[in-house]
């Protein structure tokens, strides 16, 4: 059976979505497939548009995949970036990510 780590998406207005996402999918895909508003993913996951921007909860920042140069470049285009800003299409979920929390920005792009 595929493991389903639980991801919590917190919208800018505080609305919380707790979703079990199949491991191997990205945090972006988990949101899109489950209708979580606030992640647009215009380019469909090619790390080419910066409209799946999320803030990763501080305690999880070290536990997720490292940020690539191209993702850093693309984050230049995101709205109100912070130190914990990531593009959720680049964050592939694994078993160890069970319980991960991301906050969504006020708007995308």
Partner 1 sequence: MIKTDAVIVGAGPVGLFSVFELGILGLNAHVIDNLDRAGGQCIELYPDKPIYDIPALPECTGESLTKNLLKQIKPFQTKFHYNQRVEKLEKKNNCWFVTTSEKVQFETPNIIIAAGVGSFEPRKPPIKNIERFEKINLFYSVKDKNKFKDQTVCIFGGGDSALDWTVELSKIAKKIFLIHRRDEFRAAQHTVDLAKDLEKKGKVDFLTRYQPLDFQGNGKLEKIVIKHDNGDLKELNVDSVLAFFGLKMELGPIANWGLDLEAKSLKVNTENFQTNEKGIFAIGDICTYPGKIKLILSGFHEGALSAQECFKRARPNEKYIFRFTTSSSDIHKRLGVK
Count, residues near partner 1 per rule CB under 8 A: 16
Buried b (16+ CB within 10 A) or exposed e, 60-84: beeebeeeeeebeebbeebeebeee
Q: Choose, by CB under 8 A, the member of 3, 17, 19, 43 that binds partner 1.
A: 43
Q: Which of 20, 80, 95, 96 binds partner 1 (CB under 8 A)?
A: 80
Length of the chain: 109
Contacts of 45 (CB under 8 A, 6+ apart): 26, 28, 29, 52, 89
Tell me whether residue 42 or residue 95 sits nearer to partner 1 (CB atom). 42
Q: Tell me the closest approach of the beta carbon of residue 101 to partner 1, in angstroms.
A: 23
Q: Is the dihedral of CA 43, 45, 49, 55 positive or negative?
A: positive
What minimum distance in Å lies between the beta carbon of 50 and partner 1?
8
Q: How far from the centroid of its chain's Cα atoms is residue 39's Cα?
A: 8
Q: Which of 24, 34, 44, 58 binds partner 1 (CB under 8 A)?
A: 44
Judged by CB under 8 A, the stretch of 2-10, 13-21, 55-63, 68-76 that binds partner 1 is 68-76
Q: Which residues bind partner 1 (CB under 8 A)?
A: 42-44, 46, 48-51, 72-73, 76-77, 79-81, 109
């Amino acid at each position: 059976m595929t493991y389903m780590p639980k991801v919590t998406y917190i919208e800018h207005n505080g609305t919380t979505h707790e979703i079990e996402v199949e491991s191997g999918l990205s945090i972006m895909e988990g949101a899109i497939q489950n209708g979580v508003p606030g992640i647009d993913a215009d380019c469909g996951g090619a790390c080419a548009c910066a409209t799946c921007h999320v803030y990763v909860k501080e305690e999880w920042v070290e536990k997720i995949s490292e940020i690539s140069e191209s993702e850093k470049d693309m984050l230049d285009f995101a709205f109100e970036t912070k130190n914990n800003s990531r593009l959720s299409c680049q964050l592939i979920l694994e078993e160890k990510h069970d319980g991960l929390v991301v906050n969504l920005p006020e708007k995308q792009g």
